[in-house]
Amino acid sequence: MRQSYKLIFERSREGRRAYDLPALDVPAVDAVPANMKREGKLDLPEVGEVDLVRHYTNLSRRNFGVDNGFYPLGSCTMKYNPKINEEVASMSENMHPILDEDMAQGSLRLMYDLEGYLCEICGMDAFTLQPAAGAHGELTGLMLIRAYHEKRGDDARKTIIVPDAAHGTNPASAVMAGFKVKEIKSAPDGGVDLDALREAVGPDTAGLMLTNPSTLGLFERNIKQIAAIVHEAGGLLYYDGANLNAIMGIVRPGDMGFDVMHINLHKTFSTPHGGGGPGSGPVGFKKHLEPFMPVPALVEREGMIELDYDRPDSIGKVKSFYGNFGVIVRAYAYIRSLGGAGLREASENAVLNANYIKNALRGVYHIPHDRICMHECIVTPTEEMMEKGVHTTDIAKALIDRGYHPPTIYFPLIVHEAMMIEPTESESRETLDEFIGAMKAIANEALTNPESVHACPKNTPIGRPDETTAARKPIVRYTRPE
Amino acid sequence: MIPTDRRYTREHDWVKFEEGIAILGITDHAQEALGDIVYVELPDIDAEIEIGESYTTVESVKAASPVDSPVSGRVVEVNTELDEKPELLNEDPYGQFIAKIACAEVNQDALLTAGEYEQFLAENKED
């Protein structure tokens, strides 16, 4: 049912209030100097309580989250967040970050142990939990790389190599950390082109940023050679942990040759995702980068966890206090409730689910790199669909009408008309089958009745906004009609 | 029709040489693949650009795409009309340049003639 949603300003009627105060029964005092008083009216909406409550309740019902339905957003790992994580996180809400260390041993122990678990899962020697999100983790990791080269007097290493399939944050973080970015083309199979990499490395190479599985959801089979090429050239290897959900308990970035990495706790370790945070992007690294890690480091001395600030080569603090603690607790709860075997099973099921969808859609959609995928798969509309004028964006809109959050579309950039589907391990076979059914029905409709697909979404408050005009001439502020 | 007065790259950019100045733009195929262009991030005048370095980012409703330069040199002029009207790149990709670079070095290997580019387009129709 299409409902109209007014802005709260449009519901405003002069003089309406959601409260009722008694009349002033003491003398009024005008204590505010005239020059500090607002001239003119403060233009706030004026509504009654019931209108106010209905307005925000109805807005909240338009949210779509993983608690509402299937959310196969590729590269984003929108897995279900078990409610026990919330329960456990709520137990820590009375802690204050400036409590003395000896009064916060429980919290410090939790952080210290989580660092240890992440080291074990990733094959790293140490972790810092400070970075507030994934891109912040990238920046922190790149600052470690920079500090490492500078400490060695290797000042010419100013270039970070990034494959053209990388997440957009990779080059952005490299520039923020003071590096130049050199982009290299992918090989036809979507992996790193080894010849292009050999050509790109040199005495100016500070490092290479890479995800594995790659941004195409495929395992980078040449990772050992890639690591060797970069290391022999004197660079370091940075692992973007966006796709860690495919490999937990199976293969470790540290063993692949990566020197430094970040994790998105909100992806792989089931902490809340989206809505502006808070996120958490812990950074792991090998021994040779440890001297440069942010302070404070957590160290264990005589059974007590201490905050160690005595790190002369540290890049300094990257976040107030110790990171987003509530998120850290949720990740801890997730890891402890699954255990090592459970984490491996989560990755196995994530990979199985993605392959199940890919195989079911073969023949109905085009599959550009058709080999066994990892935790996500890429499909595109077929030639026949596109001849009827049905493109990826139309299929995404049609999925909205069928109750799904669309997958990631038009990413990675190196695949034309990409739809990147990541079901995660959370979903049952029935849910996957229903989604596959919807995708097949849309494919059929695209061929038999393309106009109907073009008209989607039909069940949302607005159908197809004019995205181009919205982007070219955005109106970002409400102005009252005169 | 693909104009024959300039050269093309496999990344769907064009470059036209006029008295030591390289004029850079994107091809019809590029604008078509990008969709409605909503913003063009123009380089600074006097910026030094290297071969293979991105000199502009073209943002469409689908994605933001960096555009790599096939030449090195100093930026001498940018098409400021694109600030207000990025859609000009959609409407007239071969008539609208993005930047002009006082050309120091050219990566000739990366450059195709109109005929070669047309053939490249035909061969790569799949993706």
Q: Which of B65, B84, B109, B127 to mutate against chain A (most A CBs within 10 Å)?
A: B127
Dist CA A343 CA A269 (whole Å): 9
State ipTM.
0.72
The verdict on a CB contact (< 8 Å) between A416 and B33 is yes
What is the pLDDT of chain A when averaged over all its residues?
94
| Beta strands across the sheet bearing B37-41 | B37-41, B54-60, B64-68
Determine the residue among A175, A413, A469 to mutate to test chain B binding: the one whose Cβ has the most chain B Cβ atoms within 10 Å.
Answer: A413
The beta strand positions in A69-185, using DSSP E, are 126-128, 159-163, 180-184
- From A62-76, A269-283, A376-390, B47-61, the region with the lowest mean pLDDT: A269-283
Q: Per-residue pLDDT averaged across A441-453, rounded?
A: 97
Q: Give me chain B's average pLDDT, please.
A: 92
Confidence of residue A185 (pLDDT cuts 50, 70, 90): confident
Q: Which amino acid is at A3?
A: Q
Q: Is the pLDDT of residue A5 over 80?
A: no
In a shared domain, residues A331 and A224: yes
Contact between A467 and B68 using a beta-carbon 8 Å cutoff: no
A269 and A366 share a domain? Answer: no
Q: Above 50 in pLDDT, residue A1?
A: no
What residues contact A122, with CB distance under 8 A and at least 6 apart?
A241, A244, A252, A253, A254, A261, A263, A284
Read off the pLDDT band of A472 (50, 70, 90): confident
Question: Residue A183 and residue B68: Cβ atoms within 8 Å?
Answer: yes
Residue of A nearest to B37 (CA): A468
* Least CB–CB distance from A471: residue in B33, B38, B66: B38
Q: Which of A396, A391, A393 is nearest to A407 (CA)?
A: A396
Instruction: Indicate the number of domains in chain A.
Output: 2
Q: Categorize the per-residue pLDDT at A479 as very low, low, confident or very high, splitting at 50, 70 and 90.
A: confident
Task: Report the residue from A168, A171, A468 with minimal CB separation from B61.
Answer: A468
Task: Tell whether the model's pLDDT for residue A482 goes beyond 80.
Answer: no
Hey, CA dihedral for A138, A142, A143, A144, is it positive or negative? positive
Give A4-54 as a DSSP string.
----HHHH--TT--S--PPPP-S-----S-GGGSPPS--------HHHHHH
- B38 vs chain A: nearest CA distance in angstroms? 5
A138: nearest Cα among A346, A284, A1, A351: A284
In a domain, A445, yes or no: yes
Could you give the domains of chain B? 7-110 (2.40.50.100)
In a domain, A217, yes or no: yes
Q: A419 and A297, same structural domain?
A: no
Q: Comparing C-alpha atoms, which of B99, B103, B62 is closest to residue B83?
A: B99
Chain B residues within an 8 Å CB radius of A466: none
- Cβ distance B63 to A411 less than 8 Å, yes or no, reads yes
Indicate whether A147 and A191 sit together in one domain: yes
Angle of the A105-122 helix axis to the A325-361 helix axis, nearest 10: 30
Same domain assignment for residues A273 and A363 = no
Q: pLDDT per residue over A214-227, tens digit each?
A: 989 999 999 999 99
Residue A347 maps to a domain: yes
Could you tell me if A305 and A373 lie in one domain?
no
pLDDT in tens, A404-439: 999 999 988 889 899 999 999 999 999 999 999 999
A379 interface with B at CB cutoff 8 Å: no
Identify the CA nearest to A164 among candidates A186, A187, A196, A194.
A186
Position A428 in a domain: yes
- Token representation of residue A292: 């440069």
Going by C-alpha positions, the residue among A137, A116, A96, A395 that lies closest to residue A265 is A137
Domain boundary among A338, A362, A380: A338
CB contact under 8 A, A467 and B66: no
Q: Which residues in chain A touch residue B84, judged by CB atoms under 8 angstroms apart?
A: none
A210: in domain: yes
What's the pLDDT at B126?
Answer: 52
In a domain, A6, yes or no: no
CB contact under 8 A, B61 and A471: yes
In this structure, is residue A398 part of a structural domain?
Answer: yes
CB–CB contact A471 B52 (8 Å): no
Please report the residues numbered 75 through 104 in chain B whose beta carbons come closer than 8 angstroms to any beta carbon of chain A.
Answer: 86-87
CA distance B57 to B54: 7
Write down the pTM of the prediction.
Answer: 0.88
In this complex, do B39 and A471 lie within 8 Å of one another by their Cβ atoms? Answer: yes
What's the sign of the alpha-carbon dihedral A145, A147, A153, A159?
Answer: positive
Q: With pLDDT > 70 as the criterion, what percentage of chain A qualifies?
A: 98
A307 pLDDT above the threshold of 60: yes
In this predicted structure, the answer to whether residue A2 has a pLDDT above a threshold of 80 is no
CATH at A94 = 3.40.640.10
Residue A142's pLDDT band (boundaries 50, 70, 90)?
A: very high
Interface test mutation site (partner B, options A186, A395, A468, max chain B beta carbons within 10 A): A468
Q: What is the mean pLDDT of residues B96-114?
A: 92
Give the DSSP letter of residue A295: S
Is the confidence at residue B127, as pLDDT, over 60?
no
Residues A306 and A323 in one domain: yes
Beta pairing, strands A180-184 & A205-210: unpaired
Q: Which 310-369 residues of chain A touch chain B by CB within 8 A?
A: 368
Q: 């122990």: which residue's tokens?
A: A109
Whole-number pLDDT of residue A4: 62
Q: Which of A338, A362, A378 is the last residue of a domain?
A: A338
Q: Are A141 and A238 in contact (CB under 8 A)?
A: yes
Is the peptide bond prior to A412 cis by the omega test (within 30 degrees of 0)?
Answer: yes
For residue A472, the chain B residues in CB contact (below 8 A) are 38-39, 86-87
pLDDT at A85 over 90: yes
- Do A379 and A286 fall into the same domain? no
Q: What are phi and psi of A153, to 5 degrees?
A: 75, 15
Nearest in space to A236 (alpha carbons), one of A166, A179, A315: A179
Pick the last residue of a domain from A294, A321, A338. A338
Highest mean pLDDT among A145-154, A176-185, B63-72: A145-154
Pseudo-torsion of CA A232, A233, A236, A237, nearest 10°? -70
- Residue A166 pLDDT grade (very low, low, confident, very high; cuts 50, 70, 90): confident
Residue in B16, B20, B11, B9 with CA at minimum distance from that of residue B95: B16
Mean pLDDT of A435-456: 97
Cα end-to-end distance, chain A, whole Å: 32
What percent of chain A shows pLDDT beyond 90?
81
Residues A311 and A362 both lie in one domain: no
Which chain A positions have a beta carbon within 8 Å of B33's beta carbon?
Answer: 416
Residues in chain A with CB shorter than 8 Å from the CB of B34 are none
Count other Cβ atoms within 10 Å, centred on residue A216: 26
Q: What is the dihedral of CA A146, A152, A155, A156, to 10 degrees?
A: -100
CATH number at residue A388: 3.90.1150.10
Instruction: Please name the member of B38, B64, B127 whose beta carbon is closest to the beta carbon of A472.
Output: B38
Q: Would you say residue A260 lies in a domain?
A: yes
- Rounded Cα gap, residues A164 and A173, in angstroms: 15
Task: Give, as one character, the DSSP assignment of residue A378.
Answer: E
User: Do A286 and A427 belong to one domain?
Assistant: no
- Across the interface, whether the CB atoms of A468 and B36 are under 8 A apart is answered yes
Cross-chain residue pair A413–B65, CB shorter than 8 Å: yes
* A176 and A232 part of one domain: yes
- The fraction of chain B above a pLDDT of 90, given in percent, is 76
Which residue range is the domain that position A215 belongs to?
83-338
Range in A29-38, A267-276, A407-416, A463-472 the model is least confident about: A267-276
Q: Are residues A174 and A298 in the same domain?
A: yes
